[in-house]
Amino acid sequence: MTKAPDAPLLQVRGLARRFGAVAAVREVGFDLQPGEILALIGPSGCGKSTTLRMIAGFEPPDAGEIHLRGRRIEGLAPERRGIGIVFQDYALFPHLTVAGNVGFAMPQVPRARRAAEARPFVEMVGLSGFESRFPDQLSGGQQQRVALARAFAARPDAILLDEPFSNLDAALRQTTRREIRSLLKASGVGAVFVTHDQEEALSFADRVCVMREGRIEQIGTPDEVYDRPATGFVASFLGRTNLVRARARGGEVETPFGRAALRGTADGDVLLSIRPEHIRLTAAASETFSALVVEREFKGHDATLWVATPDGAQHLVHAPHGSPFRVGDRVSFELAVADFVPLARNSEA
């Protein structure tokens, strides 16, 4: 017998919010499964933070419904929703210790017992021995873990994270990201987080929801939205890509980089997303060359090359470490993947 899928932890249906003449969020809807991490990603002004604030209860929706464990909550005050939130600036109380900040999330516990009740949550985030320290005695990553411990201490059904790693330097951001993902997975609490960083969304989330101008452009696993973007905007926002027009006939397509297969069939002009890592360069076989390397950006583990074709177009190619090609070299193309998915018509970034 096939096991029935779990009921969604959080259901968002038709959320909308206007600010005067500006439609900040338009008909946004998605499900969050128990234990799942969902990223809302998009450029500034796309509506992701407003969506998060409506789920938290800090912004009233003009339309739509929010259900948590089957219970409608959009009309409830934030503290009655059963949702925790970790703010971008952590929002710790500077006059309270680590234990005091975590204990603040337990108003039902007598004040004299809060430090003891807070201890398991402090241990959960790896800060045992720091209970008596104040926020200004902690690093940014430690402050963030205190904020997460405080969110857990309220025993929420779901947690919202608003740009949770943006105040950390690059090295600390990667370490903290792994730690917090592990904590969320171990706890089984579902989480929705907002970010504008595509690497963060792809590495941290189980599913990614790409937003544009208040709407959801595509939602899916990181692999799906990166490898099979629905639109040119999604392809361009989630990493570098070459948006190329190509000619399709049946299950094949002729691209500037050679012939390839299509997933499905099409006839006529199509728009494809061809990632820089999907292209290999070889030395041109003769003076009649396919393309010319016009710029090179060395990044250590690989290099990005800008390659101009005879029609004047320039394309991005990721070359592996040790690639011999330099500016001025004549090269030919090979495709490193077998097939491509046509993007939605009129979907350029």
Give how far the C-alpha of residue 48 lies from the chain's centroid of Cα atoms, to the nearest Å: 11
Q: Read out DSSP for 38-83?
A: EEEE-STTSSHHHHHHHHHTSS--SEEEEEETTEE-TTS-GGGTTE
Residues 271 and 346: their CA atoms lie apart, in Å, by: 9
Burial class (CB within 10 angstroms; exposed 0-12, middle 13-18, buried 19+) of 71: exposed
Does the model's pTM come out above 0.95?
no
Residues 214 and 20: their CA atoms lie apart, in Å, by: 14
CB 342 within 8 A of CB 272: yes
Residues 133 and 127: their CA atoms lie apart, in Å, by: 10
Instruction: Find, among 348, 336, 125, the residue nearest to 235 by Cα.
Output: 348
The arrangement of secondary structure in 240-335, i.e. its CATH architecture, is Beta Barrel (2.40)
CATH number of 10-236: 3.40.50.300
CB 246 within 8 A of CB 255: yes
CA torsion 337-200-9-14 (nearest 10°) is -80
Instruction: Find, among 274, 263, 209, 196, the residue nearest to 235 by Cα.
Output: 274
Per-position pLDDT tens, the chain of length 349: 444 457 899 999 999 999 999 999 999 999 999 999 999 999 999 999 999 999 999 999 999 999 999 999 999 999 899 999 988 888 899 999 999 999 999 988 998 898 899 999 999 888 999 999 999 999 888 898 899 899 999 899 999 999 888 877 877 788 888 888 998 898 889 999 999 899 999 999 999 999 999 999 999 999 999 999 999 999 999 989 999 888 888 888 888 888 888 887 788 888 999 999 999 998 887 655 678 999 999 988 889 999 998 888 899 999 888 889 999 999 988 888 877 888 875 456 5
Q: Would strands 37-41 and 207-212 be described as parallel, antiparallel, or unpaired? A: parallel
Residues 277 and 319: their CA atoms lie apart, in Å, by: 7
Structure letter (DSSP) for residue 164: T
User: Residue 142 is encoded by which pair of tokens?
Assistant: 């430690």
Total H helices, total E strands in the chain? 8, 18
Q: Where are the domains of the chain?
A: 10-236, 240-335
